[in-house]
Amino acid sequence: MLVEGRETDGRQSGRAGAPDERRPESAATVCADVEVGLLADRALRDRAAGQVVAVFERSFYAVIDGIWICVGRIGIGSGPLHVVGDFRWPGLVVGDPVRVADSILWIGATPLANLAARSVWAPPAAPHWSTASLRRGLDTVDEVWGGDLTSEGLAVVGAGHAPGDASALVRAAMPGLAALELILAGSDDDADRESGLASLLGLGPGLTPSGDDLIGGALIALAALGRIECRDALWEHCRALLDGTNDISRIHLRAAALGYGAAALHAAIHATMSGEAAGFRRALTALTAIGHTSGLDAFAGSLIVLRRAALRER
């Protein structure tokens, strides 16, 4: 679940930037109020080193000692891979060195963040819930889940029924959605599962394609519901297909397979499970700010899982 607001502005390895992209945005200062995601925290050890691998307007990705992190300004929100602060960095390009020394995160010759007092973000535990509370939560979702909100990407498939005027993207996703339903149902029939899911991996525009976001949302919802065996079964099928998408989307999917995603997605899932209408509305506002449709696509995947859970006896 990508958090960058303008995905298409990114520059990844092998992409040439315009000549003026190296100019600094402003003088860099060291930020001491830093939040890091629980997965990013593993990379931020003294003497760790790596390089910038993608640059965006409000964030950049780096790989440090083999671990991916996303460094961004406060507006990108909390997440497992994120390093968030009121950062000011000079113009960056792919390949710039990144290192940690004496608890300072350096980008090239620029000290960016003091990590000594960093806080570590992790998603909260799933709330107490019941079938009744989940159904109340889904009723709240259904009050708003439609119209312009779900007109792009794959968000509309979270409504629980196939749209009569499905877009080309939604039609292309249908084999993958059918395969997902088989896995969620625990079917023993393996026919077409991986070939179906292969139609979702990498499906759609953007740095984290809509199909990837949907699968990630399903994985995270399964973890929240405690359906770990089903989550692991879904991931096992997806893992063999990861070559069908890009590096950054893969690392977000791997985080989702552990049950971790954007804070707004966890908030939306938890509010739906517990039937908290006000909490869901707050989370929905944050979800709409994630990527172009990434937040909504991810929650659509979560809704597929949550709707099935609402039909089960608990």
Please write the tens of the pLDDT for every residue from 79-104.
Answer: 999 999 999 887 899 999 999 999 99
Whether residue 288 sits in one domain with residue 155: yes
pLDDT at 23: 37
Whether residue 103 sits in one domain with residue 224: no
Domain count, the chain: 2
Answer yes or no: is 226 within a domain. yes
Query: Which of residues 121, 149, 169 is at a domain's end?
Result: 121
Structural domain including 64 reads 7-121
Average pLDDT over residues 104-119: 95
Answer yes or no: is 126 within a domain. no
Whether residue 68 sits in one domain with residue 183: no
pLDDT at 236: 94
Answer yes or no: is 242 within a domain. yes
Whether residue 164 sits in one domain with residue 114: no
pLDDT at 163: 73
pLDDT at 110: 92
Phi-psi region of 227 (alpha: psi -120 to 50; beta: other; left: phi over 0): beta
Instruction: Assess whether pLDDT exceeds 80 at residue 128.
Output: yes
Whether residue 12 sits in one domain with residue 48: yes
pLDDT in tens, 255-307: 999 999 999 999 999 999 999 999 999 999 999 999 999 999 999 999 999 99
Model pTM?
Answer: 0.89
Instruction: Assess whether pLDDT exceeds 70 at residue 190.
Output: no
pLDDT in tens, 230-260: 999 999 999 999 999 999 999 999 999 999 9
**Given pLDDT bands bounded at 50, 70 and 90, which one contains residue 161?**
confident
Answer yes or no: is 2 within a domain. no
Q: What is the DSSP string of 93-157?
A: -TT-EEEEETTEEEETTEEEEE-TT-EEE-PPPPPP--HHHHHHHHHHHHHHSSGGGGSSTTGGG
Report the chain's mean pLDDT, rounded to a whole number.
89
Whether residue 265 sits in one domain with residue 171: yes
Whether residue 285 sits in one domain with residue 199: yes
pLDDT at 201: 95
C-alpha dist (Å) from residue 165 to 157, 161, 209, 311: 12, 12, 21, 26
Instruction: Assess whether pLDDT exceeds 60 at residue 129.
Output: yes
Q: How many CB atoms lie within 10 A of CB 152?
A: 17
pLDDT at 166: 87
Average pLDDT over residues 202-213: 93
Whether residue 110 sits in one domain with residue 205: no
Answer yes or no: is 1 within a domain. no
Whether residue 164 sits in one domain with residue 29: no
CA distance 273 to 137: 6
Answer yes or no: is 244 within a domain. yes
Average pLDDT over residues 208-230: 98
**Given pLDDT bands bounded at 50, 70 and 90, which one contains residue 28?**
low
Answer yes or no: is 75 within a domain. yes
Residue with the bigger pLDDT between 3 and 48: it is 48
Query: Which of residues 96, 121, 146 is at a domain's end?
Result: 121
Q: Considering only 3-7, 165-169, 287-291, which range has the smallest mean pLDDT?
A: 3-7
Instruction: Assess whether pLDDT exceeds 60 at residue 117.
Output: yes
Query: Which of residues 99, 121, 143 is at a domain's end?
Result: 121
Whether residue 149 sits in one domain with residue 39: no
Whether residue 271 sits in one domain with residue 144: yes
**Given pLDDT bands bounded at 50, 70 and 90, which one contains residue 8?**
very low
Answer yes or no: is 269 within a domain. yes
Q: Which residues contact 103 (CB under 8 A, 6 or more apart)?
A: 46, 114, 115, 116
**Given pLDDT bands bounded at 50, 70 and 90, which one contains residue 15?**
very low
Whether residue 78 sits in one domain with residue 166: no
Q: Considering only 21-25, 115-119, 293-297, which range has the smallest mean pLDDT?
A: 21-25
Instruction: Assess whether pLDDT exceeds 70 at residue 10.
Output: no
Q: Among candidates 244, 161, 159, which has minimal Cα distance to 200?
A: 244
